[in-house]
Amino acid sequence: MALRVFTLLLPATALLVGAFLILAPVSQWSAAQQETLTFVPYFLAGITGFLGYSFKRSRILLVAINLGAAYFLIQNNLQSSLARPDNYVLYSIISLLLPINIALIALFDERGVFTPIGITRIVFVSLGYLIAYLLMLSGQLGYWLTGLPMSMIEMAVYDTYLSEAAAIVFIICLIPVILSLLLRKTHTDAGLLASLIAALAMLVWFDRPLISPLFVSAALIALAISVVQNSYSMAFIDELTAIPGRRALNDKLSTLGRRYTIAMLDIDHFKKFNDTYGHDTGDQVLRMVAAKINNIGGAGKAFRYGGEEFAVVFSGKNEREALTYLEEVREIVANYPMAIRSEERPDDRDTGRQLRSGQKGREHVQVTISIGVSEKDETHNNPEAVMKTADQALYAAKKAGRNCSVASHQPRPVKKPAKPRRSKIDFVKA
């Protein structure tokens, strides 16, 4: 899980670090370059919002509105000293609206953009900024300064403008954003966390030249990238097993070089397994097998081909080399204690935990896979022909008794003696 979260955060982290590194030299840019930079967030907010709308990512659209509205107020009303009462009150409002909105958006589910719920959320995110803008135009914000609590006047960090109240709000809002990332593990949630960190950095170092266009731009770029990454995952990653799917396999096949091997793998008796234990347990089996295949050695790339069938592509390896790694996976799957929960599950969580620890109320079944392997040669000189031959070898492995590997250039199936199993029963009957 930690690796998955790290991978999600990598692009956003790189963008935020880049914005911080540019912060110092940007003050030396020409006036024209600096002026151009101030318009970039508007363009990025429009692009990111459009992507959110086009790909039905309402949370992306809402964060784009949140950042864009805050930036508009900063750029048009906070370019003079915060010692002015109206400026400081507006800054204080923004320092609360930004994190609170991001935290609430992190808790939202995707419910469409221009649905009744979607429109309500857009109005909710925009309303606070609209009211602040109208009060600023009317010249009434300055009168609110004396009504602010001391926590919004006293600074959280010396020599910054961020108040104690705003710092506390940021810390509180960080909790749902992080939890959403850990639970959902989506690129959108990584973009939300990047937006919250960017907003905090912008407000802490608010007196730095061009701080707001740099960090707002970095956050919006991170959000736009997350839309592309989410779309890629939907198109190329199998939702059930979390490994690349058939479309990704076709893409991989189009980039293979002169030497490669393709293996086709199938879960033995999977239909009977589904009929006996139900589809939920069948899905559990698919996820387990996919996880084992995905960890195959030899730089093999695993894909879910469809149903209970998988494919593994070995670039730069022949059948003999690939078989070594495939046999390791076959044995790992065959010796994995697949536990089936009892239908009589206790309502009490502690009792259930005790039963699981004692392995009571469970039975263990044998899950095995059959493998067919083929390499590119003179007679099979394209990926489609190699895959077809591997599929024929898989059929031969099934006829040979299953739980074995058959290579297209090898007359006999490969099957090492199985290790003693801890299973209580064997699903596959010899």
Kindly name the residue from 154, 308, 327, 328 that is annotated as catalytic.
Answer: 308
CA distance linking residue 152 with residue 124, whole number of Å: 23
Q: Tell me if residue 327 is catalytic.
A: no
| Alpha carbon 160 to its chain's center | 34
Q: Do 326 and 405 touch, CB atoms closer than 8 A?
A: yes
Beta strands in 251-382 (DSSP E): 260-267, 301-306, 309-315, 338-341, 362-365, 369-375
Instruction: Work out the angle between the directed axes of helices 187-204 and 58-77 (0-180°, nearest 10).
Output: 10
Q: Do 396 and 406 touch, CB atoms closer than 8 A?
A: yes
The label of the residue with tokens 């096949």 reads 253
- Strand order through the sheet with 260-267: 301-306, 309-315, 260-267, 369-375, 405-407
DSSP-H helix ranges across 78-210: 85-107, 116-138, 164-184, 187-204
205 burial type by CB count under 10 A (0-12 exposed, 13-18 middle, 19+ buried): middle
Contacts 24+ apart (CB under 8 A), 194-197: 194/9, 194/12, 194/13, 194/15, 194/16, 194/218, 194/219, 194/222, 194/223, 195/63, 195/66, 195/67, 195/102, 195/219, 195/222, 195/223, 196/99, 196/102, 196/103, 196/170, 197/16
- Retrieve residue 357's tokens: 């620890």
* Residues forming a β-bridge with 28: none
- Retrieve residue 89's tokens: 């009150």
Q: What are phi and psi of 400, to 5 degrees?
A: -80, 0
Active site residues: 308
